Amino acid sequence: MRRVTRVEVWGDPIAHSRSPELHLAAYRALGLDWAFDRRRVSPETFAHELSQTAARGLAVTFPLKDAAFGAAAWRDRRAQLTGVANTLYFGDPSGVRAHNTDVGGLAIALDEAGVGDAESVRLVGSGATTTSALVALSELGAARVEIAARRPERAAPILAVAERIGLSARAVALDDVSRPVDLTVATLPGGVELDPDLVRGLASTGGVLFDVAYSPWPSTLARGWRGDTHHGLGMLLHQAVLQVRIFCSGDADRELPDEPRVIRAMRDALG
């Protein structure tokens, strides 16, 4: 019996994930009869599930990105800088390879939205996605980054990454934003509600909003924003394109055959 090549997305919760739609559209466009499934996996069960998997690779989402990073024998530069991985590839004989495609996906999405040249940027949040966003902004050439968080002290590891890559950054409380910026990148999970006064304060000096959230949309920030807003489906799309490259060839930099057509198919799958 022919063995089906399988790829999976792991996380908890996982029912909301749109990765299967994106990946299956790509594999169909490439003429590959691959399967892509969701699997609910917690940090407590991750090691066991990893030891049992027969998948070619994994897309990894919350709350497993730290565990995925730790499980790898090799990590790309973006994973090394951020300390997290959202992609595991098992097709290399030297061992498990970890990538962070969130960084590249966000950088491409910001460029696509016309805000990739922003010099001053505010990041809203202090989690793993915030660190990935910081590295993406550094790659795009941002000069100054402000990290706005409920608890600014939790941004200390992100500030350490900023220092390591030579990017000027500071952390402030969500209710203590006053310096105008060109762009705000919100990295809060979808569905998080913010006090209307906080939203007004962030919007008054926030420039263009790029919110990595996409469901529900508009997000609490987008509903109260004064200027242009962009949702996170572009980031979701482009990080998935990089994942498909990895699962097909093991190399995030190797373009897919007729890649523009594959990307169109993936974009159509998002609706």
Q: Would you please indicate which residues are annotated as catalytic (active-site) residues?
A: 65
Q: Do 98 and 182 contact (CB within 8 A), yes or no?
A: no
CA-nearest of 85, 65, 61, 66 to 75 is: 85
Rounded Cα gap, residues 139 and 116, in angstroms: 10
Give the number of other CB atoms < 10 A from CB of residue 164.
Answer: 11
Q: Rounded to the nearest 5°, which phi and psi values hold at 118? A: -60, 135
CA-nearest of 263, 178, 259, 188 to 221 is: 188
Structure tokens at 239: 């990080």
Q: What is the DSSP string of 107-140?
A: HHHHHHTT-TT-SEEEEE--SHHHHHHHHHHHHH
Q: Do 177 and 152 contact (CB within 8 A), yes or no?
A: no
Q: Going by DSSP bridges, is the β-strand pair 144-149/120-124 parallel, antiparallel, or unpaired?
A: parallel
Q: Which residues fall within 8 angstroms of residue 1, CB to CB, at 6 or more apart? A: none
Rounded Cα gap, residues 212 and 219, in angstroms: 10
